[in-house]
Amino acid sequence: MIRICVKVKSQPQPIEFTMNLTQITTTGMLAVLCSTGFAQTNELNIYSARHYPTDEALYGNFTKATGIKINRVDADDAGIIARLKAEGAASPADVILLVDASRLWRGEAEGLFKPISSKLLNDAIPEQFRANTDSAGQTPWYGFSTRARVIVYNKTSVKSQDVDTYEELADPKNKGKLCIRSGSHPYNLSLFGAVMEHLGEKQTEQWLKGMVSNMARSPKGGDTDQIKGVASGECGVAVTNSYYLARLMRSTNPEDKAVVEKVGVVFPNQSSWGTHVNIAGGAVAKHAPNTANAIKFLEYLASPSAQNHFADGNNEWPAARGVHINNPALQAMTGGNFKSETVHVSVVGMNQVKVQQLLDRVGFK
Ligand code: FE
């Protein structure tokens, strides 16, 4: 079988189809195969680690606007990377969506992405939130939304000024109070990788050790579980991605409202290097059968309407320049603005191996 790609004047995308060499014999056969090929190019296969039900509208709007049908495979970051490796050149994946900087970095490092050249994306997404451009002037992946890793505390038992830096999570004054999900979870690996850029390896190890001795319980559950632990009083302080808290703040469920009542939030390190910000992002798969559609989809994600969706639907911040959002929970949480750190997301990814070694050394589960 061979794969043939033909650019037809009336179509925006090259038409792509596969056939046996022996089949290229008559014009009639070619016409049949061309129509089959067209159906194929009007599809897009997405492997997504975005686990947010509100994203359905994001995909639906793309199909409505372009006529391109989306087929989606949902898994977590690690599962997607493993699947791409197992499938190799036979993978049907066109677009890969991951929810963490260090995983995007890993996907790039393992050669799973097809670097692309898009002026639209380069203009829209600041350099801090995308992979470094390679020697051929192409970029392996882009961030499309950002999320802050914030600190929540129990308003009755903890003072905000005692937990307004990441460093204080390890301070003996917070002994027995800290709740946090597994240190090896990508959200924490990225946070710790960023902290290592600021504190250096030795001090980071001390910091991780201090957090272990401050824990109220062994790491378990996701970020929302940590927030609920703070509300119940089992924990005094916890670490969470900002959108999990915003989701509870916007919930109409009385139980969620009661949780929100009890917790305060701080954006750490406002008077030093700023709050750690992670990204969710996307790339074109190395062996994408529908590359043109994949690029079109990534460009769509940088559009103001899709960027607004990230803000309104999943309470993230847009990564694209100049997009204004109107999200009451994010507004209430930040007072409008906050200082975020500026460590490049690729550096955060590169530090993760070292961070995992430190975690093992200090017994951070
Ligand atoms: Fe998440």
Residue 303 in domain: yes
Q: Are residues 95 and 85 in the same domain?
A: yes
CA 306 – ligand 1 centroid, Å = 18
CA 244 – ligand 1 centroid, Å = 7
Phi and psi dihedrals of 72, rounded to 5? -120, 140
- The total number of structural domains in the chain stands at 3
Q: Are residues 254 and 284 in the same domain?
A: no
Place of tokens 């109107």: 326
CA 174 – ligand 1 centroid, Å = 26
The answer to whether 306 touches 300, Cβ cutoff 8 Å, is yes
Residue 238 in domain: yes
Q: What is the pLDDT of residues 329-340, one digit of tens each?
A: 999 999 878 999
Phi and psi dihedrals of 132, rounded to 5? -65, 145
Q: Are residues 67 and 160 in the same domain?
A: no
Give the domain extent around 209: 146-276+342-362
Helix/strand/coil (H, E, C) string of 72-107? EEECCHHHHHHHHHHHHHHCCCCEEEECCHHHHHHH
Residue 333 in domain: no
Residue 329 in domain: no
Q: Are residues 48 and 99 in the same domain?
A: yes
CA 98 – ligand 1 centroid, Å = 10
First to last CA, the chain: 49
CA 44 – ligand 1 centroid, Å = 24
The answer to whether 43 touches 68, Cβ cutoff 8 Å, is yes
CA 288 – ligand 1 centroid, Å = 26
Q: Are residues 224 and 210 in the same domain?
A: yes
CA 234 – ligand 1 centroid, Å = 22
Residue 313 in domain: yes
Q: According to the model, what pLDDT value does residue 54 have?
A: 84
Q: Are residues 258 and 306 in the same domain?
A: no
Q: Are residues 137 and 151 in the same domain?
A: no
Helices 291-301 + 304-314 axis angle, to 10:
60
Q: What is the pLDDT of residues 106-151, one digit of tens each?
A: 999 999 999 999 999 999 999 989 999 989 999 999 999 999 999 9
Q: Are residues 150 and 230 in the same domain?
A: yes
CA 2 – ligand 1 centroid, Å = 40
The answer to whether 25 touches 50, Cβ cutoff 8 Å, is no
Residue 240 in domain: yes
CA 14 – ligand 1 centroid, Å = 36
CA 182 – ligand 1 centroid, Å = 13
CA 241 – ligand 1 centroid, Å = 7
Residue 336 in domain: no
CA 194 – ligand 1 centroid, Å = 18
CA 51 – ligand 1 centroid, Å = 7
Q: Are residues 151 and 99 in the same domain?
A: no
Q: Which residues contact 339 (CB under 8 A, 6 or more apart)?
A: 267, 269, 270, 274, 275
pLDDT in tens, the chain (365 residues): 344 444 333 333 444 433 333 333 333 333 333 333 333 579 999 999 998 888 899 999 999 999 999 999 999 999 999 999 999 999 999 999 999 988 999 999 999 999 999 999 999 999 989 999 989 999 999 999 999 999 999 999 999 999 999 999 999 999 999 999 999 999 999 999 999 999 999 999 999 999 999 999 999 999 999 999 999 999 999 999 999 999 999 999 999 999 999 999 999 999 999 999 999 999 999 999 999 999 999 999 999 999 999 988 899 999 999 998 889 999 999 987 899 998 887 788 889 999 999 999 999 99
CA 86 – ligand 1 centroid, Å = 25
CA 314 – ligand 1 centroid, Å = 10
Q: According to the model, what pLDDT value does residue 5 have?
A: 40
Q: Are residues 220 and 234 in the same domain?
A: yes
Q: Please say whether the dihedral angle defined by the alpha carbons of residues 70, 346, 350 and 200, taken in this order, is positive or negative.
A: negative
Q: Are residues 20 and 74 in the same domain?
A: no
CA 276 – ligand 1 centroid, Å = 15
CA 78 – ligand 1 centroid, Å = 14
Residue 330 in domain: no
Q: Please say whether the dihedral angle defined by the alpha carbons of residues 178, 182, 183 and 187, taken in this order, is positive or negative.
A: negative
* Amino acid identity at 59: Y
Q: According to the model, what pLDDT value does residue 4 have?
A: 42
Q: According to the model, what pLDDT value does residue 89 have?
A: 97
CA 279 – ligand 1 centroid, Å = 11
Domain of residue 112, CATH code: 3.40.190.10
Place of tokens 């801090």: 128
CA 247 – ligand 1 centroid, Å = 11
Q: Are residues 54 and 127 in the same domain?
A: yes
